[in-house]
């Protein structure tokens, strides 16, 4: 069954101000697909998920799960499972009871539920915590318990709102894989909101890039990365924002920092000065101010090639690495 969002509109009125959280969203998460949503803070990602879950009524638009129009259906009857940024667990129930509560409520056999709880808890590495209470867990552990509760059964649609936000880097990597595996085995559409671009690239079958209540582009992560449809997408999607250099009245050239070469002054290219060097593990981020432009260029280089602040350098790139955008509309040429 697919999830379809058609013309979703939502305006909030907050202290005299009108905020368009959703400005007409059309989006589909296909059966068995993991659709990742990325976008700056306030772009409407959580509002969209909450609308699908039935926690936020839409001003206009429809939500369909398979052929079923669930737009007016209360949250409890949509068969949508959701994990929030802040995992909400029942404080007076043990971890095991929290994970199994939905299944028990549906009247499943106690022994069968216990076995299922154990199995899903092992997958998410919380099996050693089954006897604890939610108040005795770390943020990341609570998050994994909330995930386990969702993944214990097969809902029609699964929604994840930054479930890995408070999980450390190593576990995050493992859980990304786990979520993919569980999602494939559930075979249902899953919509996953994240701020983590690497996660979006790694996990998504497709990625929807949102800004100001709109979907700017929706395609495979590889396609969005290789051919961002607009300057805004180029800035939002990718491990680092794209460099955007106005070249003439009508055109802006976009360059991924990983495609910018920084060389000694003798080499050909545009001359400039290094204004910032930031270590990033095996690599470094180098900011260069070209002599003939006001826009700094960000480059990602191996740490072994790191220059020093104040160095005179030249920057260059291959013509095929340039992205061209219309300076007025922001659209890809
Ligand atoms: N209950 C509310 N009342 C008024 N405005 C709201 C309400 N909920 C959200 N908004 C506004 O709607 C817009 C979209 O919010 P939303 O939480 O969907 O963004 P988001 O993309 O999930 O952001 P973040 O990445 O920071 O979680 C924001 O401008 C926000 O301030």
Give the DSSP per-residue string, 263-328. Answer: E-TTSSSEEEEEEEEEEETTEEEEEEEETT-SS-EEEEEEGGG---TT-EEEEE--GGG-EEEETT
- Residue 296: its pLDDT value, please? 94
Q: Does residue 105 carry a pLDDT above 80? A: no
Q: How far are the Cα atoms of 133, 147, 315 from residue 163, in angstroms, in the given order?
A: 20, 8, 40
Q: How far are the Cα atoms of 41, 103, 207, 267 from residue 53, in angstroms, in the given order?
A: 20, 19, 19, 57
Tell me, using a 6 A CB cutoff, whether residue 49 lines ligand 1: no
- Could you report the per-residue pLDDT of 190-220, keeping only the tens digit for each? 999 988 888 898 889 999 999 999 999 999 9
Alpha-carbon gap, residue 211 to 268, rounded angstroms: 38
Domain ranges of the chain: 3-231, 256-324
- Could you report the per-residue pLDDT of 45-81, keeping only the tens digit for each? 999 999 999 999 999 999 999 999 999 999 888 989 8
Q: Which residue lies with its CA nearest to atom 11 of ligand 1?
A: 21
Q: Rounded to two decimals, what is the model's pTM?
A: 0.87
Is CATH 3.40.50.1480 correct for 256-324? no
Partners of 3 in beta bridges: 29, 65
Tell me, using a 6 A CB cutoff, whether residue 10 lines ligand 1: no
Tell me, using a 6 A CB cutoff, whether residue 43 lines ligand 1: yes
- Could you report the per-residue pLDDT of 266-310, keeping only the tens digit for each? 777 899 999 999 998 899 999 999 998 888 999 999 999 899 999
What is the distance in A from the centroid of ligand 1 to the CA of 142?
23
What is the distance in A from the centroid of ligand 1 to the CA of 54?
16
Q: Does residue 163 carry a pLDDT above 80? A: no
What is the distance in A from the centroid of ligand 1 to the CA of 208?
17
Are 50 and 61 in contact by the 8 Å Cβ rule? The answer is no
- Residue 40: its pLDDT value, please? 93
Tell me, using a 6 A CB cutoff, whether residue 44 lines ligand 1: yes
User: Has the ipTM of the complex gone over 0.90?
Assistant: yes
pLDDT cut 70: percent of the chain above it: 99
Q: Which residue lies with its CA nearest to atom 24 of ligand 1?
A: 41
Q: Does residue 247 carry a pLDDT above 90? A: no
- Residue 124: its pLDDT value, please? 80
Is CATH 3.40.50.1100 correct for 3-231? no
């Amino acid at each position: 069954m697919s999830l379809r969002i058609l013309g979703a509109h939502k305006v909030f009125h907050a202290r005299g101000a009108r905020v368009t959280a959703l400005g007409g969203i059309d989006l589909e998460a296909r059966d068995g697909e993991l659709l990742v949503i990325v976008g700056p803070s306030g772009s409407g990602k959580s509002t969209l998920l909450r609308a699908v879950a039935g926690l936020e009524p839409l001003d206009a638009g429809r939500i369909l799960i398979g052929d079923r129009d669930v737009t007016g259906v209360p949250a409890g009857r949509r068969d949508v499972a959701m994990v929030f940024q802040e995992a909400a667990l029942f404080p007076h129930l043990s971890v095991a009871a929290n994970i199994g509560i939905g299944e028990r409520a549906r009247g499943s056999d106690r022994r069968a539920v216990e076995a299922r709880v154990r199995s899903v808890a092992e997958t998410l590495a919380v099996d050693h915590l089954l006897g604890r209470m939610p108040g005795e867990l770390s943020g990341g552990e609570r998050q994994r318990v909330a995930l386990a509760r969702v993944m214990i059964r097969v809902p029609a649609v699964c929604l994840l709102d930054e479930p890995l936000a408070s999980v450390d880097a190593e576990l995050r990597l493992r859980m990304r894989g786990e979520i993919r595996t569980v999602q494939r085995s559930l075979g249902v559409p899953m919509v996953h909101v994240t701020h983590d671009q690497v996660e979006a690239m790694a996990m998504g079958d497709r990625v929807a890039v949102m800004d100001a209540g709109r979907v700017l582009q929706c395609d495979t992560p590889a396609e969005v990365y290789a051919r961002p449809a607009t300057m805004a997408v180029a800035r939002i999607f990718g491990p680092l924002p794209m460099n955007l250099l106005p070249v003439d009245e009508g055109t802006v050239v976009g360059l991924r920092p990983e495609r910018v070469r920084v060389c000694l002054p003798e080499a050909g290219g545009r001359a400039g000065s290094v204004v910032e060097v930031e270590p990033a593990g095996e690599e470094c981020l180098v900011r260069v101010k070209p002599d003939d432009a006001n826009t700094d260029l960000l480059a990602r280089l191996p740490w072994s090639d790191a220059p020093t602040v104040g160095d005179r350098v030249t920057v260059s790139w291959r013509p095929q690495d340039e992205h061209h955008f219309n300076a007025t509309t922001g659209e890809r040429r």
